[in-house]
A and B are shown apart, each in its own frame.
Chain A
Amino acid sequence: MFTKREKWWGYAFIAPQMIGMILFSLLPLLFAFGISFMNWDGFGERTFVGLENYIAQFQDSNFRAALRNTTIYSLIVIPGGIAAALLSALALNKVKGKDFYRMFFFMPVVTSSVSIAVIWMWLLNGDFGLINQVLASVGIDGPNWLTDRRFVLPSIAMLSIWWGLGTNMVIFLAGLQGISRSYYEAAEIDGASAWQKFKNITMPLLSPTTFFVAIMTVIGSFQVFDQAYVMTQGGPGNASYTLVLHIFDEAFTRSSFGTSTSAAMILFVIILIFTLIQFTVSRKWVHYEDNGR
């Protein structure tokens, strides 16, 4: 539509974000890739060591613990978070006073992870925390949630589900709102039960939303850091030591930038692989309506 000067306008308009992208994303990414093959404490000589950092990571018990913990955490948070959000969205979809309930469900989302972590440290306190006091009132002797190796990871996972519930619920609600009533009415005329309607209409038509939520949840859960850093610093022992805690510690506690970036690259590859798997598998279960929704 414009004259040939259009291209210069185009470059001018993208320039600020382009500079930002090159300087603060692309360059660091290339830099990270380079450092991951080097031995470097951030100050002294850089020596090229090939794949040594990567091999060292898999031999490092800290890294293995971080990998195991992050996997366990994700195995709780991904299905748990999606199911909780979907259930809440279904419960809220048509109920009276929806906006009122939604307001509470969404409250944690706007709060910083640090504040959330501090509040929950008190709630989960083994001796005086509200949770164990409530459990005690029904005769259950609650554990020391955050200082017991067996409970620390599930505790942080539950807290993350609670924290992120509102976001995913709202996305599911938006998806549910997009499903035309006429499908349900047709099904009702055929005498379909509530479960049949859910299984044959809601789930397929909601699958693009579910897919989106699943992708975001997987990406987010592998990057867990704030809650573990504030509440437990990875402890007790290394029971809640996560991949990002490891990346952070390697760089800033142990001054080993090479191994830190190689661990970060491994994290990137893990996320990439899971995302690609999800996209591949999605062809089987994600249903897009013909009108291109």
Chain B
Amino acid sequence: MKTTADNAQRQIQPPVQPAVKRKVKPSTVFLHLALILGSLVMAGPFIWMGLSSLKSFEQMFSIPPTIIPDPIMWSNFVDSLNAMPFGRAYWNSFYISTIVVLSQIITCSMAAYAFAKLKFPGSKVLFIAFLATMMVPMQVTLIPLYLILDQLQWVNTHLSIIVPNALFNAFGVFLLRQFMLGIPKEMEEAAVMDGANPAFIYLRIMLPLIKPALAAFGIFSFIGIWNNFIQPLTFLSSTELFTVPLLLAMFKGLYVTQWPLLMAGATISVVPVLIVYFFAQRQIIEGIALTGVKG
């Protein structure tokens, strides 16, 4: 009932709009002004960071503030890149996030398929256990996790970040299971009749059908791991192992008075993420709307 009503509405909407719009024009103008101001508040800090990163030390502290840097100090970037191994940190963040995300896509979808479509003793209890672990704040298990990783001799190696995240994401299991529950039985029945086993069904029927969900889950799982701070902070101590956020935090500690360099460092850490964001925007935003969790 809802969909037909909605569809009918959508068809009626365009002709209605102009009439309504003419009536509420002052409020529409006001709304746009408010939204432009809001956008400025949201994007402004990034613009200001970019501008500040190109200023000389004197211009950075001038009152009233210099808006456009003159001369443009590209050397701030060179100095930042020389002061800290940002390239290395990028590679670390990139490869850690990629491995974790690929692994999560595989293992979470496997578990999701079992919980959604297969019957086995204990499946309900095990699924509830998964849901329950979502309630536990990460900080509660942080120190014991550190001790376990220490036993495995993984502390201060990338394994400490990769393995626990790659093998465990209760939210991913839950999310993908919800999607698979929505896939009608008929889709698999024919294959079962032909004697296909669950592995075949998972690979050839389920995975292709939940591709959009996998893409959305993958993207923001990537953002989440890329931005992860407290785990690398706790488990890693060698600078050459640092991820981007961790290196920036350390950079901040060392260069707290060198504001132009610090802003250049922040820009170096932010810009690639923002570029990816502008290209994958639709998927990221819709993925978050779909799943309701921040990266």
Contacts and interface: CB of A to CB of B under 8 A. Distances in A.
A158 to B, nearest CB: 11
A267 B288 CA distance: 27
Interface in A88-127: 88, 91-92, 95, 97, 101-115, 118-123, 127
B295 interface: yes
A7 B121 contact: yes
Given A17-B108, A28-B144, A106-B285, A11 B168 contact: no
Given A9-B197, A27-B144, A29-B144, 6 more contacts: A6-B118, A26-B133, A115-B245, A115-B248, A180-B5, A216-B294
A239 interface: no
A213 to B, nearest CB: 8
Contacts of B166: 20
Contacts of B289: 170-171, 173-174
A21 B46 CA distance: 38
A220 B1 CA distance: 37
A133 B288 contact: no
Contacts of B113: 13
Contact of A122 (B49, B63, B226): B49
A291 interface: yes
A20 B108 CA distance: 11
Contacts of A14: 110-111, 114-115, 126
A35 interface: yes
Nearest to B9: A181
Nearest to A243: B139
Contacts of A212: 292
A171 B266 contact: no
A225 B6 contact: no
Contacts of A257: 143, 147
Contact of A29 (B141, B202, B269): B141
B148 to A, nearest CB: 6
Given A114-B229, A114-B245, A130-B48, A6 B119 contact: yes
A219 interface: yes
B288 A1 contact: no
Interface in A217-276: 219-220, 222-223, 225-226, 229-230, 244, 247-248, 251-252, 257, 260-261, 264-265, 267-268, 271-272, 275
A17 B245 contact: no
B227 A42 contact: no
Contacts of B138: 223
Contacts of A11: 114, 120
Contacts of A2: 118, 192, 197-198
Nearest to B280: A110
A195 interface: no
A164 B6 CA distance: 31
Interface in B254-288: 259, 262-263, 265-266, 269-270, 273-274, 276-278, 281, 284-285, 288
B140 A180 contact: no
Contacts of B227: 110-113
Interface string A1-38: 11000111111011011111101111111011001000
A223 B135 CA distance: 12
A274 B111 CA distance: 30
Given A91-B31, A123-B45, A167-B294, A107 B274 contact: yes
Contacts of A260: 143
Interface residues of B, number: 108
Contact of B292 (A13, A121, A127, A171): A171
A25 B148 contact: no
Given A7-B120, A110-B223, A35 B143 contact: yes
Given A24-B167, A27-B148, A31-B144, A130 B230 contact: no
Nearest to A95: B31
B181 interface: no
Given A6-B120, A128-B63, A230-B252, A19 B45 contact: no
Given A119-B266, A260-B143, A31 B148 contact: yes
B39 A25 contact: no
B118 A24 contact: no
A27 B148 CA distance: 9
Given A1-B188, A162-B41, A10 B9 contact: no
A78 interface: no
A265 B141 CA distance: 9
A165 interface: yes
Contacts of A182: 5, 9
Nearest to B191: A1
Nearest to B277: A110
A24 B142 contact: no
Contact of A104 (B42, B137, B234, B294): B42
Contacts of B273: 110-112
A32 B139 CA distance: 10
A167 B292 CA distance: 8
B136 A91 contact: no
25 contacts: A11-B114, A14-B126, A21-B170, A24-B168, A25-B141, A28-B140, A28-B144, A31-B148, A91-B34, A104-B39, A105-B39, A106-B277, A110-B274, A110-B277, A114-B229, A115-B248, A118-B266, A119-B45, A119-B266, A130-B48, A174-B292, A181-B9, A223-B137, A230-B252, A268-B137
